[in-house]
């Protein structure tokens, strides 16, 4: 009889324990579901604020844009004549599309110069200088970088070359040489304007990819173009958001497709220097029968000095 009571108590105890565990499980499941629901309802602005990420003013009235088709520009006779008339420069044009210039008198650039000051210093001495926007002073290689603009919007890091103005500085921070390539006139591509993702969505893409981290700041957002496709010498450029983090890191997000383009900043100049050397070195062996001997010697020295500078910058880059 006593054993029967004990067995009943055990059964009741296990039954109560099971009911308790089931209740706990249901409560935990409900809490998890609420957490997921809360996460879904939390805006990107709330998530950024929770991670102490601040963003600049995003009041930009740009809702639509098109892909743009462009190819490398070849300079015509009139433009080549304009180049020959630029004062204080020894200029060579390779294949009618690649300008190499040595300045007769190096132009000093102050270390504390603003981008606007550098632009004003340069643009009046460059063919179509008003179409180029100052991008950066690469201090390690001592090169000033300008990108061409299409319809007022900057073409970022065109790895395929055209649309780039590079000014080479010596150890005294003086401009001694520059190279220049250009894109021809851009044409709308595709079936008309496309709706753009808004800047906050570009920032969200960086946040979700962990390129934007807690306690950081989005310091600037602008729109330009980035190469999307190249075929038979023609390029298609996509409208692209340039998001700057902490005033120093640049990210590029396709404003139509939402793709984050890979950042080529570290390799970009290295590749350009290699390609420039390939273009300039053969000129050392060329003979121009229309020039007298003194002119040939001067031309050769111009190439020598520029090649030496390129090789020095190339070696520095590879040693890093």
Percent of the chain scoring above 90 in pLDDT: 59
Residues 6+ apart with CB under 8 A from 143: 137, 166, 167, 168, 169, 269, 313
Residue 15: pLDDT over 90: no
Q: What is the pTM of this model?
A: 0.82
Taking the domains of the chain in order of start, what are their residue ranges? 53-67+186-262, 73-183+267-304
Question: For the chain, what is the mean pLDDT?
Answer: 85
CB contact at 8 A, 90 and 302:
yes
**Domain 53-67+186-262: assigned CATH number:** 2.40.128.690
Backbone angles phi, psi at 291, to 5 degrees: -100, 150
**pLDDT digits 0-9 by tens, 88-117:** 999 999 999 999 999 999 999 999 999 999
Identify the top-confidence range among 191-195, 286-290, 299-303: 191-195
Mean pLDDT of 297-306: 67
Residue 213 is classified by DSSP as -
For residues 103 and 151, what is the distance between their CA atoms, to the nearest angstrom?
Answer: 30
pLDDT value at residue 315: 81
Which of 26-35, 213-222, 258-267 tops mean pLDDT? 213-222
Kindly tell me if the per-residue pLDDT of 9 is higher than 80.
no
Contact between residue 11 and residue 3 where contact means Cβ atoms under 8 Å apart? no
Tens-digit pLDDT profile for residues 201-225: 999 999 999 999 999 999 999 999 9
What digits encode the pLDDT tens for the residues 42-79?
A: 889 999 999 999 998 887 888 899 999 999 999 999 99
The CATH class that applies to domain 73-183+267-304 reads alpha beta
Q: Between these two residues, 298 and 206, which has the higher pLDDT value?
A: 206
| Helix boundaries (H) for the chain | 2-41, 44-50, 77-84, 115-123, 199-208, 265-280, 293-319
CB 167 within 8 A of CB 180: no
From the centroid of its chain, how far is CA 237?
Answer: 13
Angle at 150 between CA 146 and CA 152, to 5 degrees: 85
Tell me the pLDDT tens digit for each residue of 109-164.
Answer: 999 999 999 999 888 889 999 999 999 999 999 999 999 999 899 999 997 779 99
Contact between 163 and 83 (Cβ < 8 Å): no
Average confidence (pLDDT) over 295-304: 60
């Amino acid at each position: 009889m006593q054993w029967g009571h004990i067995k009943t108590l055990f059964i009741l105890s296990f039954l109560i324990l099971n009911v308790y565990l089931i209740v706990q499980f249901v409560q935990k499941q409900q809490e998890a579901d609420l957490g997921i629901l809360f996460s879904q309802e939390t805006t990107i602005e709330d998530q950024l604020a929770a991670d102490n990420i601040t963003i600049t003013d995003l009041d930009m009235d740009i809702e639509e844009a098109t892909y743009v088709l462009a190819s490398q520009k070849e300079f015509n006779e009139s433009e080549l004549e304009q180049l020959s008339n630029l004062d204080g420069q020894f200029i060579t044009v390779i294949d009618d599309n690649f300008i190499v210039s040595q300045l007769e008198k190096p132009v000093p650039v102050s270390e504390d110069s603003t981008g606007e000051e550098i632009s004003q210093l340069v643009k009046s001495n460059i063919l179509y200088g008003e179409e180029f926007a100052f991008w950066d002073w690469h201090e390690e290689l001592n090169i000033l970088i300008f990108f061409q603009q299409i319809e007022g919007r900057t073409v970022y890091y065109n790895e395929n070359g055209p649309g780039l103005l590079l000014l080479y500085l010596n150890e005294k921070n003086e401009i001694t040489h520059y190279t220049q390539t250009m894109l021809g006139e851009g044409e709308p591509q595709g079936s008309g304007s496309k709706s753009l993702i808004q800047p906050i969505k570009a920032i969200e893409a960086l946040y979700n990819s962990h390129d934007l981290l807690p306690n950081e700041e989005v310091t600037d957002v602008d729109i330009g173009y980035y190469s999307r496709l190249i075929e038979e010498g023609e390029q298609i450029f996509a409208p692209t958001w340039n998001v700057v983090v902490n005033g120093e890191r640049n990210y590029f997000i396709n404003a139509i497709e939402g793709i984050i383009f890979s950042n080529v900043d570290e390799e970009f100049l290295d590749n350009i220097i290699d390609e420039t050397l390939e273009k300039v070195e053969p000129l050392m062996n060329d003979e121009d029968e229309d020039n007298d001997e003194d002119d040939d010697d001067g031309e050769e020295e111009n190439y020598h000095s520029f090649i030496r500078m390129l090789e020095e910058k190339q070696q520095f880059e590879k040693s890093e």
